[in-house]
Amino acid sequence: MKIFLDGKFVDERNAKVSVFDHGLLYGDGVFEGIRAYNGRVFKLAEHIDRLFYSAKAILLKLPMSRANFIKATTETCRRNNLRDGYIRLVVTRGAGTLGLNPFKCKAPSVFIIADKIQLYPKEFYERGLDLITVPTVRNLHSALNPAIKSLNYLNNILAKIEAINGGCEEAVMLNSEGFVAECTGDNLFVVKGGQLFTPPLFAGALYGITRQVVMELARNSGLTVSESNLTRYDLFNADECFLTGTGAEVIAAVKIDGRVIGGGHPGSVTKKLISQYRALTQSSGEPIYS
């Protein structure tokens, strides 16, 4: 496997960062998870834009232009003969001192990995996920804004541990006010009375690329889409529930905290959106091989 590392392509075994890198020492950096389908990188420009927004929020000056990030990403796919897979684009603060001061880091480090991914087993897409609400609360906006896709994912990891310990693959995370924020790695939607609802960004949800695509697909299909504060009660009494994310794509949730959602199987709205999303991923994106 070839890894893009600070402007060069190196073998996987030679892809190394310094032990003094603040991305390693302190989780100081940003990243994007991106998908490739059928020889195209899906929503690449949107992912690069979000990378720049996250970097700006933490005062990290990116060492490459948007155009060069796009070029490096597609070239990494080509070097690995990738047509369908997952791309992880990471920018760290770079090597510095053992102190917190980020301004002592000489230069940011960039690496890009292009490989395969399977987040959930195939049968979960057919029957849906069981979810559990966990006690770990989503990060406060005033502490570490969830809109920043940073390398510090300990908040999500703690919630993921609680989900696994509870016998579930994924967890529902609430914010400090008790409203639904998102899952550990995915945005959350519910269908109720023929309408689609999802937590607003200010509730602690990440600005999901897949989330936005699904909202557009739903509106184009004639569904009313609302960004509204949701409680666990709203989840329990939904007609349908599903999650969205770059890795997960679109996947139904059929049970939450022991309560069966709807008929206990992926609903018609969810199935339609899954079909539309998959069709879109196969026909659009930045060409890898031109």
Report pLDDT digits (tens) over 219-255: 999 999 999 999 999 999 999 999 999 999 999 999 9
Please tell me the pTM assigned to this model. 0.95
Q: Are residues 52 and 130 in the same domain?
A: no
Domain that holds residue 53: 2-115
Q: Are residues 197 and 258 in the same domain?
A: yes
Q: Which residues in 78-91 are b (16+ Cβ under 10 Å) and which e?
A: bebebeebbbbbbb
- The helix (H) or strand (E) run that includes residue 24 is helix 22-26
Report pLDDT digits (tens) over 3-51: 999 999 999 999 999 999 999 999 999 999 999 999 999 999 999 999 9
Q: Are residues 270 and 147 in the same domain?
A: yes
Q: Are residues 268 and 136 in the same domain?
A: yes
Domain boundary among 115, 132, 156: 115
Q: Are residues 93 and 141 in the same domain?
A: no
272 is catalytic: no
Report pLDDT digits (tens) over 261-273: 999 999 999 999 9
Query: One of 2, 149, 271, 272 is an active-site residue; which one?
Result: 149
Overall number of domains in the chain = 2
Domain boundary among 60, 94, 115: 115
- Pick the closest to residue 239 from 186, 195, 200 (CA basis): 195
Cα 85 from chain centre = 15
Backbone angles phi, psi at 15, to 5 degrees: -85, 95
Residue 42: CATH number of its domain: 3.30.470.10
